[in-house]
Every structure is written in structure tokens, then in C-alpha cells.
Structure 1
Amino acid sequence: MADVDDIDDADLPEPSLKNIIDQHSLQWVFVGGKGGVGKTTTSCCLGIQLAKTRKKVLIVSTDPAHNLSDAFCQKIGREPTPIEGFHNLSAMEIDANNDMEEMQRNMEEQGADDEKDGGLSSMMSELTNSIPGIDEAMSFSELMKQVQSLDFDVVVFDTAPTGHTLRLLSFPTILEKALGKVMELKDRFGGLIGQATAMMGGGNNPGATQDAIVGRLEETRVVINKVNDAFQDPALTTFVCVCIPEFLSIYETERLVQELSKFGIDTHNIVVNQVLFPEKDAEELSEWYEGNKDTLPTEAREICGKMLSRKRMQDKYIGQCFDLYGEDFHVSLMPLLDYEVRGVEKLKGFSEFLTNPVDMEE
């Protein structure tokens, strides 16, 4: 299919995700890509395969448009939910926006109970508005503290579309900016803010507001930096890029791979979903079609013609994918099936293609 004839097959990475299953040191596996390319299905299938070799596996959805419940056909909530049919696989769905709103509500309640709060909640709200991403960073910090407190050998993250994922990786920089801004305001205007806070009934300790904000941000930064160090360790973390054989998806994948490289995140696996007949190329199918089209009904000829056009387009982009990644990445081709991959049994069956790819030589 792809033009890799000039490369010795023995030198090519295996076209599967078996390398992830076999790397028992991995603790964090991220699955990401453009919206609508099958990230959730890939995450579920990867979790199922990992459950074969690990004691306890957790799949976490950080995408606001959660699909884990739909994929497994069972209700999955904010706490680890055991997946029916497994003794060692759980899943949970996290909404970062709701987490941040809950955090702000807690701060308001604390402020009502403690006069020394001095406007903590209002200043935190002002900070989140002035520094884009700080709310996501703090929510992610809370998520990671929660996940790390759980007893799981490996966690698979079903992430939001590419842009959200890249913001996640920039959280340490965002927090540094936030701390710098707060400290600058405290140094330059601390006295004035304190006087104004006291005049407005902020309590006997006008410096409590700034100190509390700095404390919260510093605590968040410690967690994020620790997590970031783990994410940059290829023995602990890897990122699986998911795409479909279309131009925009391949383009987005290349952007994602480059950005992950800049952040020092290991990525050496590409999953290409919705592939028509991975075991055949368009030339083979065209030969069959040319030899049989005169015997086909008009409707069948039209259907086959459209299918062949789509197959040629897919082959072109799959070839580009192998040109870009074939020598350094495990590129797994997942077939387009004639049914939805929903429910444990169908996910189990489909997951086998991640470790036992369709034989393109047959």
C-alpha cells in the first residue's frame, strides 16, 4: 500500500500497539487527535488489551464530550466505575469545567466562613479571567492528585481534541505566569490592596488574600511540575496519536507530533482508524472491478465506483502517513467495520487489531 519498498521490512517498527502492552513500566498512556477520529474507541480497546497484562487499569475521559459510557454501554461517573465483564478494568469521566466551578464555590463558602479571606474568591476569579488556561491547569492539578491517590498500575487518558491536549502540556508555563502576576501585584500594590480590602470589610489580615492565592498556585505548580516530569519520562508516559486517512486529520496529527516533541513527550505510535480493506490496495480492487463491472447491476456499479474512489484517497494518505512515520513509528491500521464498535464484546474483538494487525500481505 505505502511505498516503503526501499526499506528492509526487518527494520520497520511492528504495525501494532503491542509495544505499549509489553512496556510494563508505563503508568500514563495518552490517546489524542482531531475530533471524531475514534479516540474513545482506541482508548477503550487499549485499556482492554492492557487489562490482560496489568493488575488494575483505569481509563479516564478528560473530553467534555464524554463517550466512555456510550462505548461500554454502561453508566460511568466521576468515580472509578468497574467495567462489566472485567475484574481489573475501570473507567471514569471528568469534567474540568465543572471541577473549576466547584473549586470556586468552595472558595466562596470558605470566604463566607472566614473574614480573613479578604476577597479570595473574587481575586481568583479575576486571575482566571486575566490568564487564559489557569482554570484548566488548576482543575487538571486536582484531577491528577485524585488519580494518583488511586491504586492503578496504568491510566489511559481519553483526551479532548488536539488544541485542548496541547494546552494541557503548557500548564507549567501558565502557572509560572500566574504566580509572577500575583507576586508583581502584591509587591507593587499590596499595601493599597490591603487598605482597600480592610475598608471593604475584608478582615484583620489584609494580606491574607494575596498569600492564599500564592499558596494555592504554588501548591498547583508543585503538582503540575511533578506530573510534567513524569510525562517527559518515556519509561512512564507515552502518547498515542489517532487519525483517519484524510488530509485534515493527517495534517493535525503531524502538528500534534511536532508539538509533543517540543514538550519532550514520547510518541511513537500512530493509529489510523476507519481504513477500507487494510489487507488490499486500490489497484487490486480496481482490477477486480474492471473484470466484473459489466455483470453488476447499475446500483452496484455506482456503489463500487464510489467505494474505489474513497479507497484510492485513503491509500494516498496512508502512504503519506508511512512516508512521515513508517521508519520511526508503529503505524497501526484499524479496519472500517460494517457495525458500530459498542459494548464490551465488540470492543474486545476490535481491540485484537491493536496487537494483531490485519495482514496486508494476504
Structure 2
Amino acid sequence: MTHLYNPQTMEFTPFLFFTGKGGVGKTSTACATAITLADKGKRVLLVSTDPASNLQDVFGMELTNQPVEIPSVNNLFVANLDPETAATQYKERVVGPYREKLPEAVINQMEEQLSGACTVEIAAFDEFSSLLTNKELTKQYDHIIFDTAPTGHTLRLLQLPTAWSGFLEESTHGASCLGPLAGLSEKKKLYEETVAKLSSGEQTTLVLVTRPDISPLQEATRASKELGEIGIQNQVLLINGMMQNHVKEDEVSQAFYERQTKALERIPAELKQVTTYAVPLASFNITGIENLRKLFMNSAILDVMTLESEDMKTAPLKDLIENIHKTGQRVIFTMGKGGVGKTTVASTIAVGLVEKGHKVHLTTTDPAAHLGHVMHHESVHGNLSVSRIDPKVEVEKYREGILNQSRELLDEEGLAYLEEDLRSPCTEEIAIFRAFANIVEKASNEIVVIDTAPTGHTLLLLDAAHSYHKEIERSIGEVPASVQQLLPRLRNTKETGVVIVTLAEATPVLEASRLQEDLKRANITPTWWVINQSLYATHTKDPILHGRAMSEIEWMCEIEKRSNGQYVVIPWKAQDIVGYKNLKHLTV
């Protein structure tokens, strides 16, 4: 049974960790929980370790890694740990001693190995471990709330004996995120104490934040299972953004409500065992102390109909398709965080280009694999071919290849570390990119549209691996010729278009901006942005949804600036768009 989430009437453990995929409301619910507990008379420390943290915007003041009291909330102290800065400092501690001693290509390789998400997360873990185990600090507070918890992958790495040995300094086995722990051997005891606190049900609660939608619910299930397996059993599920009432006369309102209802009916069985709470859908931006105080008040609805609507450009997707048609680009990538609709956008672009007379090959990593069965009617779309890359198959193939190369070189502990390292996000990106590269290499006389592309870090990692291989006679893994040839092709905007897909919300836009900067490091410039599932573009009259629509304006302005005006908008749709004809409707 799902109850409304009300920290005012609930009892909490000393430590609370909020986790969930980007855009589900981790920061909002963590902040609102902290304020509610502080208003209740509890002394609270709120800490963010999220690289895309917007705590400063939420509280309207500058924040640092030192706790500061929020003037308008008695008993509340906030610290904003910057894992990006910590990762940069950590990277230099590891690489610095080798400068001037090793060839430049090797140094570049080491730096890029330490530039990925895994290193940032290890650095974040290092930061909050130091805080969590500081008895002088922790005894000052009734509750310490962390916005963003470590992943199961990071915690498993920390629990492996090999992570703390000299193995990393010598290994050239092919791990995708080689060495994020190489400089932390002196922290082993500190980390063991941190993991022990995380695993204690009396001290720590893991709050799995999700939305009433299929993708975030699946992500919450994965996180619950992963973290539960390593001892973090005290979990609660927080479903954020539940629409409790709807306007039957408003088609968007009715469809929004029905979509949530269907998603919740299909909630994974594993999550049904977790104590569940709901947070009502808010009609306002969750920034500012007063709005945060209203988040858990079921009756707190702003008079959103009085908000003024700024006239934002909402160019349709057909403008982007027309641009590709005119410029003659042959390879199109859609990029963005999970859950923003990359697959739908890639599919629609492919269909739009077919309608303009092009022969198109669409390839995707969509695990639902629904594209194949709706697109085989050659009489309808003879110029469109579709393939699906199975991430599990490609990752397993890649992992087995690396492990087979390394079995004679490593002992049992070394292989255990390598196996865990090869579960990292970078491994999946590399494995899938190799499969994409093979498709592009084989394709001729057609445009290739690729759903889900690697980050700039992964591209630089592959590039560095290639340079490293040329520089010395050993390598972190063979880089196939198809990958080597595709890397420079990606950097050629005349041939390749990179499309960033996002939602007009804080976290997706901040993460998309980080992705843009990451790509620039790899000398890749996105050509277009797509704002997907926009309520602003629906002109809904539902009071709650209209308020949400107005809150999109701030982020649409940010996207307009980031994209130099090269963005298009797809209105919110009730259903996943499946089938050639339905996709075609989005192109007109």
C-alpha cells in the first residue's frame, strides 16, 4: 500500500541516502525532507555529492564543501561537495609523479582513464566518507541527508581486495575504467567503516526516488537489487510526481493520469516488497524555501493560471530533419541520459528522412526491441532497414575477450577486480560503440541513424588506447579498425550530426550540458538539441500541468542559449510512439 510521504510524522535513521536516475527529483525531495525535519526541531546536515548539483539554485545562496547554516531555516546546514573538483585533484595526485618520466602518450592515457564517471564517483565517495566517519562532526546532527548515493558498482569495487593492491599500477589488461582506486590505498580502513555504516539498518536508510513511469521504476528496481546485494537492506521507495486528480475535459490531463496509472500497475515485483510512499505532482518549480516547504503539503497548489506565459520558440522536429536532408550528413547520433526518449527521436528522424526519399538504416540498443516488428512491412517503408544491438550480448562478448586475454597474466584476485571493473558504464559504452562502428563500416549508400552514443570520455578513452598502442608494445585492449575510422568521422560535422535529446527540466538539462562539454573535450560539437515530451507545447489547461508547463520556460531558455537557437520541441505524448505511421505523424 502506498502512503503519502510526510517527514513531519515519520521517524528516520541518522543517515539518509537519496538515489535514483537523473530527473526523478532526488534533490527536491532530499531538500524538502531536510527542511521539514529542521522545522520539526531536528538539527540537520544536507550534503550533495551530485556533479550536476543545483543546491545553490534551490537555496539561492553560494555553497561550499563546508557546512553553512541556511538563514531562513533554523537547524538546517548545507554542504555542496564538488566531486568534479575532488576528481581533478585526485587525478593529479595519481598522475603527477609520472610526469616527465613517461612518454606523453602514456600520460594522456592515464589522465583519460581517470576522467570518467567512475573516478568522479570514487572521488565523491572519498569526500562523504571523510564526512561520515568524522565523529566530531556527525555527533552535532540528528540527521545527515545525502543527495545522491553511491552505486552498487562503486561499492563492489571498494570491497574487492585487489582494489587496494599494487595490481593497478602494473596492469594493462584492458579494463575500461582502469585505476580509479589507484591512489586511495591509505583510505581502506576509512572506506570499510563507511560501507559498514551504509549497511547498518539502524543507522542508514536508502531512499529510492522514482517517478510513476516505466523507465525510472526499472532503474529503481536495479538500484534496489544492486545495493541490497551488498548489504544495504533498509530501503524505502519514494514515487515522486503522482497526479492525484485530473481534468477529464482536458485530453492531456486525462492521458497523463492514465499513463501513470498503467505504469504503476506494472511496477516490478521486486519493488512491491519495498515500503512505498508517494509525493503529489507539484504545479511549481521546486526551488526556494517556501516552495520546498509546500512539496509535501497535499493541499498546496499555486494559483498557476495567473502565471504569465513567455512566448518561446517551439520549432517542430521536421526542421531538424530538413536540415539533415539539406546538409547531406550521413551518420546521425542521438545522445542523452536514460529516459529522455532517445529511441523515439532516433526512430522519428529515420522515418522523416525516408519520407524525403533517403535510404536509411536505423540501429538501436533499445531493450524493448519493438522497432523490428513494427517496421518490417517493406511495402510501407522499403528504404528503411532496422537492426537492434543487444547490449547484454555485446558487453558479454567484449568482457569475455578481455578476460581471455588476461587469464594467464592475472591471479585470482586480479581477475576478480578486472571482472568488476568490466561492469562499469564505460565498458558498456565501448562494447556498444564497437558494434555501432561495425554497422557504419558496412553501410553504404544510406544514412545511418544511431540511437545511444558514447560519451566524450569513452571516445577519448578509445582514441587514447589507440595512441597508447602505437606508442608502446602493449595496450589496454585492441581498438578495431572500424572504431579507429569512426572516431575522426564523428568529428566531421559535414558528415556526422550529433543530436542531444533532453527534457525541459533542471536535471536533464544540466546533465545534457555536461554531456555537451564532455563531447567538446573529444572535439565533437552537437548540431541540434531536441526538447522531448514538452508540456509547454501541449497548451494544457489542467492547473497542475499548466504550472509544470510554465516551469519549463526557464530550461527552454537555457537550451536556446546552449544550442545557439538550434533546437526543436516535441509535445508531450501519452503513449510511446510505436510504428512507422505514428512516427511519421511526429515529422509533419
TM range (shorter): 0.5 to 0.7
Count of residue pairs brought into register by the alignment: 281
TM-score, structure 1 as length reference: 0.65
Deviation at 1:152, TM superposition (A): 2.8
Query: Which runs of structure 2 are paired with 1:186-197 in the superposition (5 Å)?
Result: none
Report the counterpart of residue 219 of structure 1 in structure 2: 186
Conserved? CA contact 1:15–1:330, under 8 Å: no
Indicate how the Cα distance of structure 1 residues 176 and 87 shifts in structure 2: closer, same or farther if over 3 A, else same: farther
Deviation at 1:271, TM superposition (A): 1.2
Q: Are 2:97 and 1:97 aligned?
A: no
Aligned-partner Cα distance in 1 for 2:96–2:222: 43
Deviation at 1:156, TM superposition (A): 0.9
Report the counterpart of residue 417 of structure 2 in structure 1: none
Conserved? CA contact 1:59–1:91, under 8 Å: yes
| Other structure's SS at 2:267 match | helix
Deviation at 1:256, TM superposition (A): 1.1
Deviation at 1:224, TM superposition (A): 0.8
Deviation at 1:74, TM superposition (A): 2.2
Aligned-partner Cα distance in 1 for 2:222–2:292: 29
Indicate how the Cα distance of structure 1 residues 312 and 135 shifts in structure 2: closer, same or farther if over 3 A, else same: closer
C-alpha deviations, 1:63-96, integer Å up to 9, x for none? 1001111122222222112112222111111122
Deviation at 1:53, TM superposition (A): 5.0
Query: Which runs of structure 2 are paired with 1:143-292 in the superposition (5 Å)?
Result: 143-149=128-134, 150=137, 151-159=140-148, 165-173=151-159, 176-181=162-167, 217-277=184-244, 280=245, 289=248
More helix by share: 1
**Counterpart amino acid of residue 257 in structure 2:** K
Report the counterpart of residue 285 of structure 2 in structure 1: 340
Aligned-partner Cα distance in 1 for 2:114–2:60: 41
Aligned-partner Cα distance in 1 for 2:56–2:114: 35
Indicate how the Cα distance of structure 1 residues 55 and 344 shifts in structure 2: closer, same or farther if over 3 A, else same: same
**Counterpart amino acid of residue 252 in structure 2:** K
Q: Are 2:51 and 1:67 aligned?
A: no
Aligned-partner Cα distance in 1 for 2:209–2:9: 15
Indicate how the Cα distance of structure 1 residues 350 and 274 shifts in structure 2: closer, same or farther if over 3 A, else same: same
| Other structure's SS at 2:287 match | coil
Conserved? CA contact 2:49–2:80, under 8 Å: yes
**Counterpart amino acid of residue 65 in structure 1:** A
Aligned-partner Cα distance in 1 for 2:278–2:194: 31
Aligned-partner Cα distance in 2 for 1:20–1:101: 42
Give the superposed CA RMSD.
3.7
Conserved? CA contact 1:17–1:269, under 8 Å: no
Conserved? CA contact 1:58–1:155, under 8 Å: yes
Q: Percent identity, please.
A: 24
| Other structure's SS at 1:311 match | helix
Aligned-partner Cα distance in 2 for 1:134–1:146: 19
**Counterpart amino acid of residue 157 in structure 1:** F
Give structure 2 stretches of 5+ with no counterpart.
172-180, 299-588
C-alpha deviations, 1:201-236, integer Å up to 9, x for none? xxxxxxxxxxxx99x633211111110011111001
Give structure 1 stretches of 5+ with no counterpart.
1-11, 113-117, 186-212, 290-300, 354-362
Aligned-partner Cα distance in 1 for 2:95–2:185: 20
Aligned-partner Cα distance in 2 for 1:104–1:322: 39
Aligned-partner Cα distance in 2 for 1:268–1:143: 20
C-alpha deviations, 1:219-272, integer Å up to 9, x for none? 211111110011111001111011111111111111111112111112431111
Report the counterpart of residue 318 of structure 1 in structure 2: 264
| Other structure's SS at 2:266 match | helix
Q: Which of 1 and 2 has higher RCO (CA within 8 Å, sep 6+)?
A: 1
Report the counterpart of residue 305 of structure 1 in structure 2: 251
Deviation at 1:20, TM superposition (A): 9.3
Indicate how the Cα distance of structure 1 residues 335 and 14 shifts in structure 2: closer, same or farther if over 3 A, else same: closer
Aligned-partner Cα distance in 1 for 2:165–2:194: 18
Aligned-partner Cα distance in 2 for 1:77–1:219: 26
Indicate how the Cα distance of structure 1 residues 225 and 249 shifts in structure 2: closer, same or farther if over 3 A, else same: same
